[in-house]
Structure 1
């Protein structure tokens, strides 16, 4: 079970690594997949900085936690994805749905579920 859990987290980390690098290399193209359009250098800078940070930090802590089987290391990634999911949920009720609204929420919910499960399973491990 620990191997499967670590593999799921590593796959999620790989996805997040690809997204983070995509935002770093070409924020306009990566942003388009998220429904974002940058208006000038400031918008591109915000996308390149903020989205890269979000995904690369999550990927780093997920990979580290999966490698070491340490639940405490997964907390930063869990907080990032739980916050993102909450923001989308609020938007779902406060604004409206849009085509494909469920896919990013499903990905974020899967991150939250797997990371929470791993944190509970690996709690107290320090090696």
Structure 2
């Protein structure tokens, strides 16, 4: 059970790192898949700064927590992707839905659930 959970977290963390790298290297094409359109150099700078920060920290904490078998580290991606999921829920009520709205929510929910379960299953570091 613990090995499967660790592998799932590691794989999802790797996916988030690839997403972050995609925004860093090819922000315009990455933005299209997220329903975004950069507005000139300032928009591209936001895409290169904010999205890699989200995905690198979230995905990196998932990989590091899974690799080190450290449940405390997995609370970081649970918080990051939990806040993202909450923002999407607010958007559903405020703005309605769009085609395919459920898929990113499913990915974020999986990250939150996996991270929270693993944070309980994997050991915590004291001190």
Structures share a fold, TM > 0.5? yes
| RMSD of aligned alpha carbons | 1.0
Runs of 5+ in structure 2 lacking a partner? none
Q: Which runs of 4+ in 1 moved over 3 A?
A: none
Which residue of the partner structure matches residue 94 of structure 2? Answer: 94
Contact in 2 for aligned 1:69/1:125 (Cα 8 Å):
no
Pairing of 1:54-69 with structure 2 (within 5 A): 54-69=54-69
Give yes or no for contact 2:38–2:44 (8 Å, CA) kept in 1: yes
Instruction: Tell me how many residue pairs correspond in the alignment.
Output: 126
- 1: distance between equivalents of 2:25 and 2:11? 21
Normalising by structure 1, we get a TM-score of 0.96
Q: Distance in 1 between matches of 2:124 and 2:11?
A: 23
Give TM-score scaled by structure 2 length: 0.96
Tell whether the 8 Å contact from 1:70 to 1:123 is kept in structure 2 after alignment. yes
Question: Residue 9 of structure 2 corresponds to which residue in structure 1?
Answer: 9
Q: Secondary structure at the match of 1:73?
A: coil
